[in-house]
């Protein structure tokens, strides 16, 4: 039985990869930079997106795809900022896939968009396996989750372009060894950028904003 | 392709259910109460288990099965308390299944065990689908994750026998509406017991300990 599962899994992943390449081509044709935002539940994906929208809204066209098992709470928050947003409900599914993103792209104003955030389902394991067509992967780890998470969930951290260490405002009340965390993540992933931030107070977000701006400028296919 | 996946999924779940019933029978024959502990990464599953071991160690035989994608950090912590522990590494798998538990049971001193904790992989979505043979399901939600999680991850909360609201010591620093959380969870799951606790300070854990004792006493098949 185990072999059967693995075979089907590879078939699905292969089909997903092909669909993801199609999505990326479509994003490139529209000069859009897409970032896949991944983390555990409650680490601050939506808070980061809301902060980033507020910062860039005046100068960039932004769109958001919200992935959740259920509810449209996050999409409603984004919608209040006047930004185009599609909510995907996975109905039990633990990650987004490229097929879901293709359908979402059909319903977004791509020609007006420079920057697309895809907020994945809250899950530190499965989303990393499924390419969506994104150009960059951002992983959030919040301080209350503990500094041992890269040991326990290595794939997500090894694969990230950028890691945001969120809820840094809670540091006085927690035993979180930031140096040990950074050392472990950079050991697994030497090219990763790490930004300690607080989406509550705004602390440290300038580094993330500058990184995003550089990525936007560096993208050849920008319109 | 979607149909194919669903078919295989049902087949796997059916086989898992059968295996889980076998595990439960074996636990019952040994008079063991088994609790499946589930939550997001970093919500406090291991901390709860360590606190509970310290509380019951003198009067109960306790064993632990630790589930993680990678590492044996948690099993080492349990081992230091002199309790029998098996670490399962899922190597990318996002939940434990009954087959893994069967193998772990082969390696635990069942005849000396009264209470078995199964710490699932940190994931608020997938573990709920896979019966392990456990008698009770405990779900932890920590305050920093936010009070909206039952809306976004309903299955886990709808299915729990007990919900522990952990990290209550951080309440002064967070916007967490405990009343709204409790109302939402009990609305979905009227029989659930909810205990606000801090595995850091010990606050509120007496309720959890009393609940566990009552469950142990109430179990017909106790030796």
Q: Evaluate whether residue A19 is within a structural domain.
A: no
Q: Evaluate whether residue A155 is within a structural domain.
A: yes
Q: What is the pLDDT of residues A107-118, one digit of tens each?
A: 999 999 999 999
Kindly list the residues from chain B whose CB atom is less than 8 angstroms away from the CB atom of residue A4. Answer: 8
Q: What is the pLDDT of residues B67-79, one digit of tens each?
A: 999 999 999 999 9
Q: Evaluate whether residue B50 is within a structural domain.
A: yes
Kindly list the residues from chain A whose CB atom is less than 8 angstroms away from the CB atom of residue B42. Answer: 40, 142, 144-146, 149
Note down the domain range covering B157: 32-218
- Angstroms from A193 CA to nearest CA on chain B: 22
Q: What is the pLDDT of residues B154-165, one digit of tens each?
A: 999 999 999 999
Q: Evaluate whether residue B16 is within a structural domain.
A: no
- Interface confidence (ipTM) of the complex: 0.91
- Angstroms from B142 CA to nearest CA on chain A: 9
Across the interface, whether the CB atoms of B41 and A149 are under 8 A apart is answered yes
Across the interface, whether the CB atoms of A71 and B148 are under 8 A apart is answered yes
Q: Evaluate whether residue B200 is within a structural domain.
A: yes
Across the interface, whether the CB atoms of B41 and A42 are under 8 A apart is answered no
DSSP symbols for chain A:
-HHHHHHHHHHHHHHHHHHHHHHHHHHHHTT-EEEEEEESTTSSHHHHHHHHHHHHTTTS-EEEEEEESS--HHHHHHHHTT-EEEEEE-TT-SS--HHHHHHHHTTS-GGG-SEEEEE--S-SSGGGG---S-SEEEEEEEGGG-TTHHHHSHHHHHH-SEEEEE-GGGGGGS---HHHHHHHHHHH-TT-EEEE--TTT-TTHHHHHHHHHHHHHH-TT--
Q: Evaluate whether residue B52 is within a structural domain.
A: yes
Q: How confident is the model at residue B6 (pLDDT cuts 50, 70, 90)?
A: very low
Kindly list the residues from chain A whose CB atom is less than 8 angstroms away from the CB atom of residue B127. Answer: none
State the CATH number of the domain containing residue A164: 3.40.50.300
**B171 at A interface, C-beta within 8 A:** no
Predicted TM-score (pTM) of this structure = 0.93
Q: What is the pLDDT of residues B42-60, one digit of tens each?
A: 999 999 999 999 999 999 9
If one counts the domains in chain B, the total is: 1
Q: What is the pLDDT of residues A137-175, one digit of tens each?
A: 999 999 999 999 999 999 999 999 999 999 999 999 999
CB nearest B142 (choices: A92, A122, A144): A144
Q: Evaluate whether residue B70 is within a structural domain.
A: yes
On the question of pLDDT at B222 being above 70, the answer is no
Q: Evaluate whether residue A47 is within a structural domain.
A: yes
């Amino acid at each position: 039985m185990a072999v059967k599962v693995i075979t089907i899994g590879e078939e699905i992943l292969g089909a997903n990869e092909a669909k993801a390449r199609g999505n990326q081509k479509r994003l490139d044709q529209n000069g859009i930079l897409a970032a896949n935002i991944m983390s555990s539940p409650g680490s601050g994906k939506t808070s980061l997106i809301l902060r980033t929208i507020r910062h860039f809204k005046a100068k960039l066209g932004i769109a958001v795809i919200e992935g959740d098992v259920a509810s449209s709470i996050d999409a409603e928050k984004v919608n209040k900022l006047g930004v185009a947003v599609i909510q995907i409900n996975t109905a039990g599914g633990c990650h987004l896939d490229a097929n879901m993103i293709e359908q979402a792209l059909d319903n977004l104003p791509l020609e007006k968009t420079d920057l697309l955030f895809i907020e994945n389902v809250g899950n530190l394991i499965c989303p990393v396996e499924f390419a969506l067509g994104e150009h960059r992967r951002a992983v959030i780890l919040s301080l209350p989750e503990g500094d041992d998470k890269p040991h326990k969930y290595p794939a997500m951290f090894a694969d990230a372009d950028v890691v945001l260490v969120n809820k840094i405002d809670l540091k006085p009340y927690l035993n979180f060894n930031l140096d040990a965390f950074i050392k472990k993540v950079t050991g697994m992933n030497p090219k990763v950028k790490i930004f300690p931030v607080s989406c509550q107070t705004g602390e440290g977000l300038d580094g993330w904003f500058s990184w995003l701006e550089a990525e936007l400028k560096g993208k050849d296919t920008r319109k």
